[in-house]
A and B are shown apart, each in its own frame.
With several copies, the nearest count.
Chain A
Amino acid sequence: MSDRTAGIGEPAATEEKAANRKGPGFSRLFRTYGTLTIFILLVLLASTQSDAFLTERNATNLLRQMSGVGIMAIGMLFVILTRGIDLSVGSIAALGAVTSAMFVQDMSMPMAVASVVLIGAACGAVSGFLIAFLRLPAFVITLAMMTGARGLALILSNGQPVMPGTSGQGLQNFGTSFTLGLPNPAWLMLSLFAIAFLILNFSRFGRLVKAIGSNEEAVRLSGISVPWYVASVYVISGALAAVAGLLVTARSGVGSAQVGVAAELDVIAAVVIGGASLMGGRGDVVNTFIGVMILGVIGNIMNLAGVPGYHQQVYLGVIIVVAVVLQNSAQLFRR
């Protein structure tokens, strides 16, 4: 058995596979750059529709406008990677918006921010516990959290917008000013995306989150405590949603319980346009960011081009479909 290394039990197939198979190679390529392609196409289209589009001011606007959705999309990406879904982000954002306006009145800024993040994380922990440890369906649990957190935000604020008062000036200054030419909310979003990139690609946590979405049982039988990881992604999502809510308060100067109604749909759409699969295991940070920007550009250009309100909704629907078709075109063509 001297030559056991030479292809016993191994059809010469695998080497060939890597070398020759164009299909999956192309598909992989599109899976990686498909979102980018869609984005570029959209930008090209947009710049023919309005001169205002390719201006620095508009780019700045766009980044700032999408900062909330972007931050929530990061958390949602983690959740979706584990095959989950989080419908509660919009409501938790509302809770974050309200509590941040309340807390800055009596606490130091860092304490206030930390408390807001903690509240969001706690909401996420409740959902996460029920989903991960009691194995209840994420859709319904986070739907319940969506209802509950919104109710809580309304109760806390008594249904009234909460004015942070003069003590909230620091927060509002942060929310409305620029650093190195970019709005602070945009910086915050970009840094969180960068951190998420590092975590997802280079950390034990990120890798296992992805693995759990692909095959939870295999991960469990590798000796890993799957429920902790699954619960964690909801904690992250909740914390980030609260941050998104805090940003709204920082930008607008008022803490409102009406923040983020139906935001979960935008956020999920952005993540999926970014190529993530709701069946788990597939998705990455860079494409999620591009997905967020795609969604942003769609709305932005329709405003710039003066598309009337109701028609915007119809176009939005059509463009989302086109994006998903393109996103999946590699797969479609292969068949």
Chain B
Amino acid sequence: QDGDCSVGIAMYTLGAPYFAAQAETARQVAEEAGCEVRVADGQNDMVKQIGDVEDMVAAGIDILILNPRDAQGLVASANMASAQGVHVIAIDSTLDPSADFITQIQSSNTANGELVGQWLANELNGEPARIALISGSQGNLVGRERRLGVLRGLMDAQLTSQGDADIEVLGQGWGNWATEGGLTAMEDLLTAHPDINVVLGENDSMVLGARSALQAAGRLDEVILVAAADGQKEALQLIKDGEYGATGLNNPNEIARRAVEIGLQAMNDELPEGLSKLTYTDPAAITQENVDQYLDPESVF
């Protein structure tokens, strides 16, 4: 049945572990189903990704798994692919719902943020939040949703429990989604604002880096570490060991697996009735209490 099924996986970047894992899982699942697979690395460039999609469609794919660089920018590409009879599934980053695709699968940054924020409010237990914020990259919408999600959740939880909110974001550093970026950003934040008690990062990698900085400064004990997203296994291990507060569940493998499965269903005309255009994975704040449910030392990510 080789050749009957061809899957294109167009990632806007493979330059971060999360995406590499996502693409890898999608590839595995599709190959197990007997499909031929091609993976494209958009290298963070919207124009390159548009070209990648064009090339894949020209090469004759049946299913397109698209993690779009830009919600609007890839609309035309998705429409074009669908018009050519390709079954398009969007994953992770948002694709504008006006586009022609089957469904979008992603975690809800708002829902995750709400849960992580709540957990943090509990942990602070009335203490004011003095936050060092470590953001991903400038102009990134996902990052914005994540930080606002957690801050919103924190604010709401404080209001609910105390009737007021005492939250101060002392500084925002930029860590480029990466461990070493989080490390450097944290060093400067720590120097400028020695009196923080929370580190909030937009993903685990950066918080892991920030943790190294805190460790080197001997400040690990006084600071709560939380990430808005991912559930990277190194972070989960630390959560289990009680050395890392919480993170939002954003499992790349789960998202990829479901996307490919839906794509195959669409190809075989077996789509479930009433599939909505937006499929959120279940939100969760991963904490020491529930970490065993998510920790898999063998997983890629």
A positions within 8 Å CB-CB of B: 50, 52, 55, 57-58, 61, 64-65, 68, 154, 157-161, 163, 176, 248, 251-254, 256-263, 299-300, 303-306, 308-310, 312-313
Whether A252 touches B55, Cβ cut-off 8 Å, given contacts A159-B17, A161-B179, A176-B212, is no
B positions within 8 Å CB-CB of A: 11, 14-17, 19-21, 23-24, 36-41, 43-48, 50-52, 54-56, 58-60, 69-76, 135, 138-141, 144, 171-174, 176-180, 183-185, 187-189, 191-192, 205, 208-209, 212, 215-216, 234, 300-301
CA distance A310 to B13 in the complex (A): 11
Residues of A within 8 A of B185 (CB): 303
Interface centre among A50, A159, A254 (most CB of B within 10 A): A159
**Once the chains bind, are B15 and A303 in contact (CB under 8 Å)?**
no
Residues of B within 8 A of A252 (CB): 46-47, 50, 70, 72-76, 179-180, 183, 208-209, 212
Determine the residue in chain A with the shortest Cβ distance to B300.
A160
**Once the chains bind, are A257 and B139 in contact (CB under 8 Å)?**
yes
Determine the residue in chain B with the shortest Cβ distance to A151.
B138
Q: How far is the CB of A244 from chain B (nearest CB, A)?
A: 9
CA distance A261 to B15 in the complex (A): 10
CA distance A224 to B185 in the complex (A): 47
Can you name 19 A-B pairs with beta carbons within 8 Å? A55-B191, A61-B54, A61-B191, A68-B47, A161-B73, A252-B46, A252-B212, A253-B72, A253-B73, A253-B76, A254-B234, A258-B177, A260-B45, A260-B47, A261-B15, A303-B188, A306-B38, A306-B59, A312-B41
Q: How far is the CB of B213 from chain A (nearest CB, A)?
A: 9
CA distance A331 to B208 in the complex (A): 48
Determine the residue in chain A with the shortest Cβ distance to B215.
A176
Q: How far is the CB of A69 from chain B (nearest CB, A)?
A: 9
**Once the chains bind, are A160 and B76 in contact (CB under 8 Å)?**
no
**Once the chains bind, are A65 and B72 in contact (CB under 8 Å)?**
no
Residues of B within 8 A of A64 (CB): 54, 187
Known: A55-B58, A258-B177. 11 other contacts (CB 8 A): A61-B188, A160-B17, A160-B139, A160-B141, A252-B73, A252-B208, A258-B44, A258-B69, A259-B180, A263-B45, A304-B59
Determine the residue in chain A with the shortest Cβ distance to B193.
A52
CA distance A61 to B172 in the complex (A): 18
**Once the chains bind, are B191 and A161 in contact (CB under 8 Å)?**
no
